[in-house]
Structure 1
Amino acid sequence: MPQSLVSQAAMNVHWLLGDFLGQVPGVAEAVVVSADGLLLADSQQGRKADELSAIVSALTSLAGGLARAIEFGAVKQTMVTMDEGHVVVMAISDGSCLGVYASLQCDLGVLAYQMSLLVERAGHALTPQVRSELRRALAVR
């Protein structure tokens, strides 16, 4: 991401994602998705970040609808386990969320702990201005 396009705060979001990948063995990709389903940031691992962000947005919407229907309050985390790995989604702030996909070998306890730390840090960084900067930067990438 060219530094001239974004502030240090927006760069920090990407740094947080990169640091997260270094902390959790088995994570293949991480994305931050806005409340309206747009990709804000990704770990740039050469994976399908746009596709993952759409899936994360859909899972968030589906889980939110379920929580409202059964009146269980706000969704904190959504996890889907498949034959070859996991997709885990956590709410960040203002409807934004963090989506991660990881191998079956990934320790889910470590993953959940590190995701919660990242959610806390990213929540402070994702101001409306930073979200706009991240969208602009992805548009020219």
Structure 2
Amino acid sequence: MHEHTPRRTTHPVPLSRAAAAQVREFRWILRRFLDDLPGAFDVAVVSSDGLLLGRTCAATAPESTLIAPLAGGLAALAQAASALNHSGPVERTILEMEHGILAIVSISDGSVLAVAANSSSDRAVLGYQMTRVVRRMGRVLTPELRSTLRDHAVSEA
């Protein structure tokens, strides 16, 4: 005999007012961060297991949903390199390309903030602003909100 496993519904349960307010605040933080960061065109928060928790992008951003797997993969590689070298926790990973930058910063809960920006972006400003928003994200990204974000689409263009 097979045990009956409940199926996950394709329509999530409607959010409570409190949960909806948390999601709105999370989205607002991402959007405000993107708007205030010169040269950035895509911002995402990715859970420690590689799931996209939230994303916002500029109208000029390439139409791609690859930022989550790229950020998750790069974060995992950086963590493996750190473990191999006994270097301690990874704070930041920067991938510099001819025409762009992908910067990844760890958030206290194990998730990461990923920012795609133009190659002309000021790296010092990018690093400073990412550190500031990560501190704020660490306070906002509660276990309850992470669960809500996993169950509901939070990406916005």
Length-normalised TM-score, structure 1:
0.90
1:18-37 correspondence runs (5 A): 18-37=31-50
Give the 4+ runs in structure 1 shifted more than 4 A.
46-49
Deviation, structure 1 residue 81: 0.3
Alignment correspondent of 1:118: 133
* Post-superposition CA distance 1:45-93 (Å, at most 9, x none): 4645631000000000000000000011000000000010100000002
Closer, same or farther in 2 for the Cα pair 1:36/1:14, shift >3 Å? same
Tell me how far 1:121 sits from its aligned partner: 0.3
1:40 aligned partner: 53
Structure-1 residue corresponding to 2:91: 76
Tell me which amino acid in the other structure corresponds to 1:29: D
How has the CA–CA distance of structure 1 residues 97 and 44 changed in structure 2, closer, same or farther, with 3 Å as cutoff?
same
CA deviation profile, 1:82-132 (whole Å, cap 9, x unmatched):
010100000002210000010012111111111001100011111111011
Q: CA deviation at 1:7?
A: 2.5
> Which one of 17, 23, 41 corresponds to residue 30 of structure 2?
17
Change (3 A) 1:109 1:66: same
Q: Which runs of 5+ in 1 are unaligned?
A: none
Matched to 2:48, the amino acid is A
Name the larger-Rg structure. 2
Instruction: Name the counterpart of 2:82.
Output: 67
1:25–1:106 Cα contact (<8 Å) kept: yes
Maintained 8 Å contact 2:93/2:103: yes
Identity %: 34
Amino acid aligned to 2:41: A
Give the structure-2-normalised TM-score.
0.81
Name the residue aligned to 2:142: 127
Mapped contact 2:54–2:154 kept (Cα < 8 A) = no
Residues 1:95 and 2:110 aligned together: yes
Q: Match of 1:104?
A: 119
Structure with higher helix content: 1
Partner of 1:8: 21
Determine if contact 2:34/2:57 at 8 Å carries over to the other structure: no
Aligned to 2:11: none
Higher relative contact order, structure no. (Cα contacts within 8 Å, ≥ 6 residues apart): 1
